[in-house]
């Protein structure tokens, strides 16, 4: 089956630093990758949709200068949380898609900003 | 009102019990997803269906397009089935998924 990895799985950083999270599709080429954020006991919230080679489309209320997304290849997308603050602490999940209606989810990255 | 409603929100069961989780949605869909999220956080895609019924091991998913309703059944439940089960709908005019709020299942030995 399709496998999506994320790295790192956990990261703890100091306030003001930037953190990069990688999302890779390991055995298929993903034309579209999605980035989600999840707070405790809440559902996934879509942050942005990225297509390979083009700029990401951000959801309303998500700051694109704060959450930089790069989808440089068909197997890799990165999310960079710039100048992270404690309120950015959350669980970030990516998913990857090659076909419409199909999404394969990564294992998630737990970010803690001190 | 959420576009995707799940019930129940919380469910406890004894090992071996048959479990049903329900999902209702309000608009036409391209596909309906059932996802599983374990306490560690990772999400596993269980089913994607647009009609009828699918079965994988002890899991069965059904969908009734006319009634805009889907169910996830777990037969012979086991403590390792304890997780949050999420349904999500796709739509015709976007790649985005709309998620339900999830059903937290605990299966006790």
pLDDT in tens, B33-88: 999 998 877 888 899 999 999 999 999 999 999 999 999 999 999 999 999 999 99
Q: What is the pLDDT of residue A35?
A: 96
The answer to whether residue B1 scores a pLDDT higher than 60 is no
Report, as an integer, the average pLDDT of A30-36.
Answer: 93
Are A108 and B95 in contact (CB < 8 Å)?
no
Answer whether B109's CB lies under 8 Å from B56's CB: no
Are A101 and B31 in contact (CB < 8 Å)?
yes
- CB nearest to B101's CB, from A43, A102, A105: A43
> What DSSP designation does A55 have?
P
pLDDT band of A92, cuts 50, 70, 90: very high
CA–CA separation, A16 vs B59, rounded Å? 45
Q: What is the pLDDT of residue A102?
A: 82
Burial class (CB within 10 angstroms; exposed 0-12, middle 13-18, buried 19+) of A14: exposed
C-alpha distance from residue A80 to each of A35, B1, B36 (Å) = 11, 33, 26
pLDDT digits (tens, 9 = 90+) for A43-67: 889 999 998 888 899 999 999 999 9
pLDDT band of A112, cuts 50, 70, 90: very high
Residues in chain A within 8 Å Cβ distance of B40: 107
- CB nearest to B42's CB, from A32, A102, A107: A107
Interface test with B, best of A10, A32, A34, A44 (most B CBs within 10 A): A44
pLDDT digits (tens, 9 = 90+) for B12-33: 999 999 999 999 998 878 889 9
> Count of residues for chain B?
109
- CB nearest to B99's CB, from A43, A97, A102: A43
Mean pLDDT for chain A?
Answer: 92
């Amino acid at each position: 089956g399709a496998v999506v990895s994320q790295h790192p799985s956990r990261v703890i950083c100091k306030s003001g630093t930037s953190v990069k999270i990688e999302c890779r599709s390991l055995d298929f080429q993903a034309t579209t990758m999605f980035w989600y954020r999840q707070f405790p006991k809440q559902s996934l919230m879509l942050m942005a949709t990225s297509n390979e080679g083009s700029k990401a489309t951000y959801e309303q209320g998500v700051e694109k200068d704060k959450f930089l997304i790069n989808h440089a290849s068909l197997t890799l997308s990165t999310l960079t949380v710039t100048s992270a603050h404690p309120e950015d602490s959350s669980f970030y999940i990516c998913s990857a898609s090659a076909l419409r209606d199909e999404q394969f989810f990564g294992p998630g990255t737990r970010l803690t900003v001190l | 009102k959420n576009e995707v409603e799940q019930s129940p929100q919380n469910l406890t069961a004894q090992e071996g019990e048959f479990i049903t989780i329900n999902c209702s949605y309000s608009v036409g869909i391209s596909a309906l997803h059932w996802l599983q999220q374990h306490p560690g956080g990772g999400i596993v895609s269980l089913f994607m269906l647009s009609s009828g019924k699918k079965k994988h091991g002890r899991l069965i998913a059904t969908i009734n397009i006319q009634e805009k309703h889907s169910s996830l059944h777990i037969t012979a439940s086991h403590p390792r089935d304890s997780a949050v089960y999420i349904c999500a709908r796709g739509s015709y005019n976007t790649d985005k998924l709309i998620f339900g709020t999830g059903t937290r299942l605990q299966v006790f030995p």
